[in-house]
Chains A and B, each alone.
Chain A
Amino acid sequence: ENISDFSLNVTDCTQVVVPEEVFFTVAAAGILENLLVLIAVIRNKNLHLPMYFFICSLAISDMLGSLYKTLENIFIILCKMGYLTRRGDFEKKLDDAMDSMFILSLLGSIFSLLAIAADRYITIFYALRYHNIMTLRRALVILAIIWTFCAGSSIAIALFSYEAATVIPFTILFPLMMFFILCLYVHMFLLARSHAKKIASLPTSTVHQRTNMKGAITLTIFLGVFLCCWAPFVLHILLARFCPHNPYCACYMSIFHVNGTLIMCNAIIDPMIFAFRSPELRSTFKKMFCCAR
């Protein structure tokens, strides 16, 4: 009935639909995987270290992102089935809460990645003083500050999301953080490479370029995955703010659900490239599953 009111062309961009089964499977997989990482770090005393706490922080923000998408889908289903009223005050507040959860997840991801990169940077460049600089207590304080800031910003952004002023800093923060993290890693990488060259000059050295090539691959994977999973959604927010009537923008916004699924895929991939690369964590997993059998 309402559709006839829209002067839609035959070549309209229809909403690209992700099947709900796929959606819930991806979300559940992301939540479970990150929960496993958290449990493993909590249970193994050897993993009570700043580096793993930052990885846990990343796991929590990934879980929040997947949780948000799951809850949103559940609420849409409940709306379709008529259990929730459409204009209710409660639903609006719920909607606000869920939006802020999503922004919290995004900001938490960005800052966790930044913390992980900074931790590795200090590990490389301040190696001898690392354990004085990055004590457990300081790591926890840093995490508390990060999450308080993210929670405050997410609530503020969700409340004032209709203002253009909130969208712009949000979208500027994203590439800025990416660039900063890239710089940290490139600096570490340069140092590693120059040292590898020195090692390669030794007479008995068998180091070859493949080691550093793999460093390049790893770094590209780190940042490429984050970029490919979050940038589509950030672009969506920008386009929704600034050109909602433009047909090109509208066609981009029609793949909104695909962008949401990408964010949940990020929650699945992140533990693989951060947490599961640690042998200690993997052995903890094996012990957990072997004991469960």
Chain B
Amino acid sequence: MSALRLISNRTSQQALSNSDYTWEYEYYEYGPVSFEGLKAHKYSIVIGFWVGLAVFVIFMFFVLTLLTKTGAPHQENAEPSEKRFRMNSFVADFGRPLESERVFSRQIAEESRSLFHFCINEVEHLDKAKQSQKGPGLESNTHFQEVPRSSSGMFEEDLNCLTKFNIPNFVNTEQNSSLGEDDLLISEPPIILESKSVMQSSHRILD
């Protein structure tokens, strides 16, 4: 900014700075700065500022990692079911932009169905697959509260049931594996919780 350039030029010993010396506003008439009798190092503000900034960022990082390790027990019982449903994908996907819009991407539906790796999905979709075979579409997500406690390794066979399963409009899809993208911060593959029919209907509604 112009006024600030004037100030910075005043302390400069470059001959070049004289060219824009008078380009600035005249009311910034600062006198020469005397550097005599400094008690501390002359760059003390610079050093202090950057050290303080680094300390703050590191402190913030440690606070966040501490949040990882310690608990906030009051939150454990107060979550509504929809948040729990959402958190399935958020846990593995915190760092990325939340791909809620994937609901509208028709061409990735087929890919997403084959991207089932996450164990939580494995557990929950067993439950969903069983329920979808009974026929009802999902008007409410109340049955997501029932997380099955037993797991089996049969979820791959139930993947096809997902196509018939109607789930709430918010889903998260990660198809980085299918697209060959592997540069996420997260090592575990995220959860795919969508069905093609839901995506198509939502797309039609919102278009």
Contacts and interface: CB of A to CB of B under 8 A. Distances in A.
Interface of A: 1-3, 5-9, 11-15, 17, 46, 49-52, 55, 76, 79-80, 86-87, 91-92, 95, 99, 102, 116, 120, 123-125, 127-128, 130-131, 135, 161-162, 182, 186, 188-199, 202-207, 209-220, 223-224, 227-228, 231-232, 235-237, 239-240, 244-257, 274, 277-280, 282-283
Contacts of A162: 3, 25, 27
A279 B102 CA distance: 11
Interface stretch (B82-90, B128-136, B156-164): B82-90
A127 to B, nearest CB: 4
Identify whether the interface residues of A are mostly helix, strand, loop, or mixed: helix
Nearest to B75: A194
Given A188-B90, A188-B94, A194-B71, A240 B3 contact: yes
Interface string B162-195: 0000001110001110010100111110000000
Q: 4 tightest CB-CB pairs across the interface, nearest first?
A: A218-B95, A195-B87, A215-B94, A216-B64
A211 B40 contact: no
Given A79-B20, A125-B83, A202-B149, A15 B9 contact: yes
- The winner among B10, B91, B179 for most chain A CB atoms within 10 A is B91
- The winner among B15, B60, B72, B88 for most chain A CB atoms within 10 A is B60
Nearest to B105: A46
A187 B181 CA distance: 28
A203 B151 contact: yes
B61 A220 contact: yes
Interface residues of B, number: 101
Interface in B74-108: 75-76, 79, 82-88, 90-92, 94-105
B20 to A, nearest CB: 5
A120 B98 contact: yes
Contacts of A182: 60
Interface in B108-144: 119-120, 122-123, 141
Contacts of B36: 9
Contacts of B16: 80
B11 A274 contact: no
A95 B3 CA distance: 10
- The winner among B15, B34, B102 for most chain A CB atoms within 10 A is B34
Contact of B179 (A86, A209, A244, A279): A279
B4 A209 contact: no
B194 to A, nearest CB: 12
- The winner among A49, A125, A249 for most chain B CB atoms within 10 A is A49
Contact of B53 (A86, A191, A228): A228
Interface in B16-58: 16-25, 27, 30-36, 38, 40, 42-46, 49, 53, 56-57
A8 B170 contact: no
A202 B91 CA distance: 15
B64 A195 contact: no
A41 to B, nearest CB: 12
Contacts of A91: 23
Nearest to B12: A15
Nearest to B46: A252
A283 B45 CA distance: 45
